[in-house]
Structure 1
Amino acid sequence: MDLANSQRHLRIDSLNSAIRIFGDRDAHPYGDPLLIAARHHTEGYPLPRTDDRDLLSVGWRTIASSRLFEVSARGSAARRWGQRLAPRDPTALHAVLADEAQDVSFYTDPTTRIPVVRKGAARQGSWAFLAPLRLPDQAVRLRSVILEDTAWVRTDDDRIYPGPCTPDEHLWWGPGGGDQPAEAAWVIAQLLDDISKEVSLADH
């Protein structure tokens, strides 16, 4: 339950950041701060411990599946990244990533250690994964960014990685609303200073 409580605290931090951005600052350069109609509780209420494995299984599958991300295997960045992945026997997290798909293969990124599932044929399917929290190699620098379903990071040793992000986010890129350019730019700015930094989306 310690990890579950940690996830709860991350959500509280994220919500506090949104309130600070939109409520305590000007939502528009020439406007007034937004009025926050209600504020959430941020104290107490830790999740209780339980030995009910069925309940824990359902809970963790829900948490993990809400954070998984899929990119097309047809993209050039995804193809290059896929060539570096190492096949492995599936873990419980691989099973969550696979969901109910039938034609799946299981991998691990040997550098970031994130589990990866390929759904469908190599060139026509998709890669399902959780964004890494950080890139481990401190000896390289960010060379470029490829915006292709997600923000791919290319380092000066010519390797490609999915852009790192916070535990409850992904740097998705494509049709849709939201603040994806702002999030990607904020993460990239942090990686330019330190490629192995555990990035934050606070105050982006």
Structure 2
Amino acid sequence: MPVLRTSGEGGKPAWRFYAPLSLPAGGAELASAVLHHTVWITPSDGHVHPAPCTRPSTCSGATAGVTGPASRGRRRALLDDLDATMNLREHRKVPKGLTALFNEEHKRGSELARSTLLHARMTLPRTH
């Protein structure tokens, strides 16, 4: 994957790279999602990959890949099939509990385990 080191916010180094459209599953399943500038996917095979993106606007910024209907749909699809390529029309099928989980404030570097993601997918969000 091509990578470029640039000056980021406040002069700190920033890494820029192309995100994949899908992941090489090789029989692995999604083990967790780490929320750190972008969403990093850790499959059960121990590798780490940036979450797949379908367009630049879903992959940039401090919360890249965390919010927005396309990115939530991508995580739903990855729970079932790690090498799934996201279809932007799929965002309407995202379970409300998974949407609520990714809409919560998370500390940078938070890791959401597969069990947390699966539980959120099966749970209706609480109303206040």
Please give the TM-score of this superposition, normalised by the length of structure 1: 0.37
Q: Residue 133 of structure 1: SS of its match in structure 2? A: coil
Question: What are the ranges of 5 or more consecutive residues in structure 2 without an aligned counterpart?
Answer: 92-128
Distance 1:192 1:127, change over 3 A: same
Deviations 1:140-175 (A, max 9, x none): 110011111111111112221110011454334636
Alignment pair present for 1:125 and 2:13: yes
Asked which structure has the greater RCO (Cα within 8 Å, sep 6+), the reply is: 2
Q: Output the amino acid matched with 2:83.
A: S
Alignment pair present for 1:202 and 2:94: no
Rg larger in structure: 1
Matched residues, percent identical? 30
The root-mean-square deviation of aligned C-alpha atoms, in Å, is: 2.6
The residue that corresponds to 1:139 in the other structure is 27
The residue that corresponds to 1:192 in the other structure is 79
Q: Output the amino acid matched with 1:192.
A: L
Question: What are the ranges of 5 or more consecutive residues in structure 1 without an aligned counterpart?
Answer: 1-113
Q: How does 1:13-162 map to 2 (within 5 A)?
A: 114-119=1-6, 124-162=12-50
The residue that corresponds to 2:120 in the other structure is none
Q: Residue 147 of structure 1: SS of its match in structure 2? A: strand
Q: Alignment length, in residue pairs?
A: 86
Please give the TM-score of this superposition, normalised by the length of structure 2: 0.55
User: How far 1:196 sits from its partner (Å)?
Assistant: 0.8
Q: Residue 31 of structure 2: SS of its match in structure 1? A: strand
Distance 1:173 1:148, change over 3 A: farther
Whole-Å separation in 1 of the counterparts to 2:68 and 2:58:
12
Distance 1:135 1:203, change over 3 A: closer
Q: Residue 202 of structure 1: SS of its match in structure 2? A: helix
Deviations 1:98-122 (A, max 9, x none): xxxxxxxxxxxxxxxx3111236xx
User: How far 1:183 sits from its partner (Å)?
Assistant: 3.0
